[in-house]
Structure 1
Amino acid sequence: METDSGDGLGDRLRDANEEELGALIRDRLPEIDARAARQAFRNPFLSGPQIETLAASPALSAAYEVRREVVLHPRAPRLLALRLVAGLYWADLARVGTDPRLHPVVRRAADLKLIERLPGLASGEKMAVARAASANVIAALRLDPTPRVTGALLENPRLTEGLLMPLAASEKASPLVLARLAADPRWGVRPGIRNALCRNPATPLAAALAL
């Protein structure tokens, strides 16, 4: 079980003022374990150079939780965040891609890596991504043939009619997915979506007639 460094070092890293934080990281770096380091990331005075110092520690950089904290910190040096983002799990990639505090380049890198991994995700995992994904990932998921994934996508607060129109108009879309879209109480009633579904020969007849 991971324990905090001696004498409450994690608490001190979290609560220190700017000067104290710098001294702790400089003087006690070998004593800082992953749990204590995570507390440092909660300190509002943590700076980019200090993040680099923590990430340069072999013991800390070996800990997934620390690498994740680096990427998710808005003051993390961009090149460092970009180097680490590829190693994040899919759920954390989704978090990075939708975090407005982070640099757009870092968010975009997370989106691209997540899109690359989508084919290997189970349906339940894709559903979790679909509910909260960024616009870039929505665009990659919208033609998924699984109605449950589409249903989750329709719940995404970042979804727009513009992102949905290519699905509604696609003759390659699954008829079951198109029927799910047509039946959606939020999106199926929109004139643009309804017109696209009605014109789409892949839309099941019963679904089109109900529009």
Structure 2
Amino acid sequence: DLLKAVYQLDIVKGSHKLQLALVRNPNTPGPVVQALLPFLHLFELVDLCLIPGVTPDQKFAAERAILLRLPTTELGNKMTLARRATATVVGEILKEGDSRLVEICLNSPRLREVAILQFINGASSKAETISMIARHPKWKLRPNLRLAILKNRRTPSIWFTLFLPQLRTPDVRNLLLSRRLNPAQKKLVQDELRKRGTGR
């Protein structure tokens, strides 16, 4: 294969520009792409994920290379990644639970609702970051996210006060059955049911 032969030339091994060109070529064999990815800069990997014509395999490999670097990536670069990277990468950054990154992730047009649900239900969500989601103009209106927020024992009481009146009675009843609620949250749910004349 021609591109494989090109990869083996000494000139390619010493030229970052040629390595990048090979990785960006959709016809470059997968093993060659995998071998070259560690030599690319972080944001070259991001660009590779987003360029038109990139193959699914190239995108997956580039995303994986980014995720492997996340633990050692500086905060400033993570902030830029949260703004520019793919849904998969933004979702992983969100899961870290750093409040300085959560707001940026929530504003990313690529972030998916499922990643936020995983974050709310995960161990790294805190009262502060849950409140960021509950306040966010885009995400606060999503019914599934509201229910997930109300099922988290770390959710501040204010969100029960604001969200419970807008829930359907069957959803409020189901919430009362959740084992995740703390006693104060359970009382707020019971109070809401009493207001509706359906309390226990």
Give TM-score, length-normalised by structure 2: 0.70
Partners in 1 of 2:157 and 2:112 — Cα distance? 25
In the alignment, what sits opposite 2:112?
Answer: 160
In the alignment, what sits opposite 1:137?
Answer: 89
Contact 1:131 1:154 (8 Å CA) reproduced: no
Partners in 2 of 1:209 and 1:59 — Cα distance? 66
1:205 is aligned to 2:157 = yes
Quote the offset at 1:207 in angstroms.
4.5
Partners in 1 of 2:18 and 2:34 — Cα distance? 15
Partners in 2 of 1:210 and 1:146 — Cα distance? 25
1:24-54 alpha-carbon deviations (Å, 9 max, x no partner):
xxxxxxxxxxxxxxxxxxxxxxxx82x4455
Match of 2:16 among 41, 49, 64: 64
TM-aligned CA distance change 1:123 to 1:208, over 3 Å: farther
In the alignment, what sits opposite 2:179?
Answer: none
- Matched to 1:81, the amino acid is V
TM-aligned CA distance change 1:210 to 1:128, over 3 Å: farther
Give TM-score, length-normalised by structure 1: 0.67
Quote the offset at 1:183 in angstroms.
1.3
TM-aligned CA distance change 1:139 to 1:201, over 3 Å: same
- Matched to 1:177, the amino acid is T
In the alignment, what sits opposite 1:173?
Answer: 125
- Matched to 1:157, the amino acid is P
Quote the offset at 1:97 in angstroms.
2.9
TM-aligned CA distance change 1:204 to 1:69, over 3 Å: farther
- Matched to 1:180, the amino acid is M
Q: Which runs of 5+ in 2 are unaligned?
A: 164-200
TM-aligned CA distance change 1:208 to 1:115, over 3 Å: farther
Match of 1:76 among 10, 15, 28: 28
Q: Which runs of 5+ in 1 are unaligned?
A: 1-47
Local SS of the residue matching 1:86: helix
Contact 1:111 1:137 (8 Å CA) reproduced: yes
Equivalent residue runs for 1:16-165 within 5 Å: 49=2, 51-52=3-4, 54-99=6-51, 101-165=53-117
- Matched to 2:129, the amino acid is V
Quote the offset at 1:208 in angstroms.
4.7
Quote the offset at 1:87 in angstroms.
2.1
In the alignment, what sits opposite 2:170?
Answer: none
Contact 2:91 2:112 (8 Å CA) reproduced: no
Contact 2:97 2:124 (8 Å CA) reproduced: no
Aligned residue pairs total 163
Contact 1:99 1:107 (8 Å CA) reproduced: no
Local SS of the residue matching 1:142: helix
TM-aligned CA distance change 1:73 to 1:208, over 3 Å: farther
